[in-house]
Structure 1
Amino acid sequence: MHNIAIITTAFGNGLQDRENSYAALADDLGLRIRYCTKDELIADSKGIEGVIVGVEIADERLFSCPDLKVAMKFGVGLDNFDMESAEKEHVQVVNMPGINSDAVAEMTITLMLCVSRMILPMARCLSEGNFVQHCSHTVQYKKLGIIGMGTIGQKVAKVAAALGMECLGYDIRPLEAEGVTMVNLPTLFSQSDVITVHIPLMEATRHLIGEEAFSLMKPGVILVNTSRGGVVDDNELYQRLQDGRIMGAGLDVFENREIRSKLAALENVVCTPHVAAYTHETLRFMEDTALKKIKACMAGESFNDISKGGNV
């Protein structure tokens, strides 16, 4: 039996009996599961060979656990992993590329439509007893700019095309995507009616959408971000939303708590608490995959899917 620790509360989220739901599968795989916090694991890590991590900071303290061999990201983005420390301590880091792409693409389209059709302000009016009809916008025949043409970006493009949108795409890699015209960033910023972001957060992408990018955008553009908060300069976005140069935004991620509260208070913003991948169906699939993959790692299988800069 291999002992693994699960330190993310996302694993088993929504299940009535979280700790016993995967006992049978774990037993079949030869795994013994311990649910605990990061601090609890560090305080007592004897015999723990694998750990499943969510949004917790995976740093030198974690990777220094003496028996640890594998750290599994319960998701895709590794911006919370100290990769140098993992390498130093000879801990294999593995993530799950594309595991939540359907759910995130679905949420991206949902946020876009909620903003363009002004769903939130009308729902608020009705909940307050006021029957107010806002005239909103359709997305048909509009141009959608997709930054990051990985798995999620391509799925967003397919749904958008079905809605009658013209898709422009940008990626750091030279690639082609069906139904998407690949362009450079300035062209995407200047021509798009809606812009959606699907890239990881790294030093090279921090505030990629900042003052210069916003200055190139059309008046009345809609911005959707379901990737990472730091990719967008949220303070600059807040100013542009207030003065009306950005028509609206759909945000599932934020730079910090302070700016999140300010953005959420705006009528032309739809905010969700980083739940694009949080569906029962997606989480159950992720949980099953995580256990099977960490078992494979224990058996010596090597995975070439560590995200060091590609698209999610």
Structure 2
Amino acid sequence: MERIVFLDHDTMGADIALRRPNVPHEWTQYGRTAPEQIIERAHGATVLIVNKVPIRAETLAQMPNLRFVAVAATGTDNVDVAACRACGIAVSNVRAYAIHTVPEHVFALMLALRRSLPAYRESVAAGAWQACGQFTLLDHPIRDLHGSTLGIVGRGAIGQAVATIAQAFGMRVLFAGRKGEAAGGPDHVPFDAVLAESDVLTLHCPLTPATRHLLGGAEFARMARRPLVINTSRGGLIDDMALVGALEGGLISGAAVDATAVEPPPDDHPFLRLAGRTDFLLTPHIGWASVEARQAVAEQVTACIEAFAAGRPINLVT
């Protein structure tokens, strides 16, 4: 009999039905779990389901029955995978569930800013269309995606899906090589060249020590075409204050961010002072969160638990 505990079920949303695994089990779920509540709530669990709840070595040391951690996300940075491995605890994640929803969100952000939709919405609300005296209002820049250059950092499934959509729009696509390294090929070019040539730059890489603050002051200064910068991956990929400075200083034409280093961001986060700008969009980490994608996450979590219980684990990261 498995004792399964889901520590942060609210991250799935109330509209998602999580199918219970077809194995003998006891099921307990909590909407949210603070770090100091983990030990008490997970007491006796053989299987833990977590999305963003941190599972660290000192916590694992107090969970002698735990055999499996099912992460309801692709990223596993909230779980000490090395400590799990040392304790003989298997860890799985969910994969490829966001290959439609994240690219669609990227293009929603891209189109909104390239066509100045937030600015035009404000202008219409303020009566500027009626006051202009003609059929069209041309107060804000409108740029086509067709013929522009899209730089993509990260060539995984999501980065490639973004490239496919971009090509359908008639964009030139450049995949960036690793920062500081040479890269060859017609669409896989050195990182600095992508900074210089892109009209839009979008990030689709994991957060690692090598990619933390991938974009900082020096990188923004090399963005010769004043691109639109989009980050739907991890907040730590961009130096927040450097992005604010680049936007306020005119080094980039706009920015759209769907993830911050601390979520939700504190009241004094520098991005919140940009909230009134029409060339900046901050969305609350929803790029992944279509109904279809969240249901796919739920199905994969259940499948991972069933496979582990059957002795044929899938999606292992340990």
Q: TM-score, normalised by structure 1?
A: 0.87
Compared CA separation, residues 30 and 230, structure 1 to 2 (3 A): same
Equivalent residue number for residue 28 of structure 2: 34
Alpha carbons 1:45, 1:67 under 8 Å: kept: no
The alpha-carbon deviation at position 142 of structure 1 amounts to 0.4
1:301 aligns with 2:312: yes
Compared CA separation, residues 68 and 104, structure 1 to 2 (3 A): same
Equivalent residue number for residue 274 of structure 2: 263
Alpha carbons 1:63, 1:91 under 8 Å: kept: no
Work out the CA distance in 1 between the residues paired with 2:287 and 2:194. Answer: 24
The alpha-carbon deviation at position 60 of structure 1 amounts to 2.4
Equivalent residue number for residue 106 of structure 1: 104
Q: Which amino acid aligns with 1:117?
A: R
**Pairing of 1:43-192 with structure 2 (within 5 A):** 43-64=40-61, 65-131=63-129, 133=138, 134-172=140-178, 181-192=187-198
Deviates more, 1:286-295 or 1:223-232: 286-295
Q: Which amino acid aligns with 1:153?
A: G
Alpha carbons 2:231, 2:258 under 8 Å: kept: yes
Compared CA separation, residues 105 and 180, structure 1 to 2 (3 A): farther
Work out the CA distance in 1 between the residues paired with 2:160 and 2:71. Answer: 23
Alpha carbons 1:14, 1:280 under 8 Å: kept: no
Work out the CA distance in 2 between the residues paired with 1:76 and 1:281. Answer: 16
Work out the CA distance in 2 between the residues paired with 1:302 and 1:242. Answer: 50
Deviates more, 1:76-85 or 1:109-118: 76-85
Name stretches of at least 5 consecutive residues in structure 1 with no aligned partner: 308-312
Alpha carbons 1:29, 1:292 under 8 Å: kept: no
Compared CA separation, residues 100 and 8, structure 1 to 2 (3 A): farther
Alpha carbons 1:189, 1:217 under 8 Å: kept: yes
The alpha-carbon deviation at position 223 of structure 1 amounts to 0.4
Alpha carbons 2:70, 2:305 under 8 Å: kept: yes
Alpha carbons 1:116, 1:137 under 8 Å: kept: yes
Alpha carbons 1:224, 1:251 under 8 Å: kept: yes
Equivalent residue number for residue 199 of structure 1: 205
Q: Which amino acid aligns with 2:282?
A: C
Secondary structure class of the residue paired with 1:101: coil
CA deviation digits over 1:151-191, x for unaligned, max 9?
0000000000000100000255x9x9xx9711110111111
Equivalent residue number for residue 250 of structure 1: 256
1:7 aligns with 2:7: yes
The alpha-carbon deviation at position 101 of structure 1 amounts to 2.0
Secondary structure class of the residue paired with 1:121: helix
Q: Tell me the number of residue pairs that the alignment of Structure 1 and Structure 2 aligns.
A: 298
CA deviation digits over 1:88-147, x for unaligned, max 9?
332212111222221111111111111111111222333444436423111110010000
Work out the CA distance in 1 between the residues paired with 2:305 and 2:204. Answer: 26
Equivalent residue number for residue 278 of structure 1: 289
Alpha carbons 1:11, 1:283 under 8 Å: kept: no
Work out the CA distance in 2 between the residues paired with 1:255 and 1:262. Answer: 16
Q: TM-score, normalised by structure 2?
A: 0.85
Kindly report the root-mean-square deviation, in angstroms, between the aligned alpha carbons of the 2 structures. 2.5
Q: Which amino acid aligns with 1:14?
A: A
Alpha carbons 1:170, 1:183 under 8 Å: kept: yes
Work out the CA distance in 2 between the residues paired with 1:42 and 1:236. Answer: 39
Secondary structure class of the residue paired with 1:289: helix
Q: Which amino acid aligns with 2:9?
A: T
The higher radius of gyration belongs to 2
Secondary structure class of the residue paired with 1:71: strand
Work out the CA distance in 1 between the residues paired with 2:105 and 2:10. Answer: 18
The alpha-carbon deviation at position 219 of structure 1 amounts to 3.6
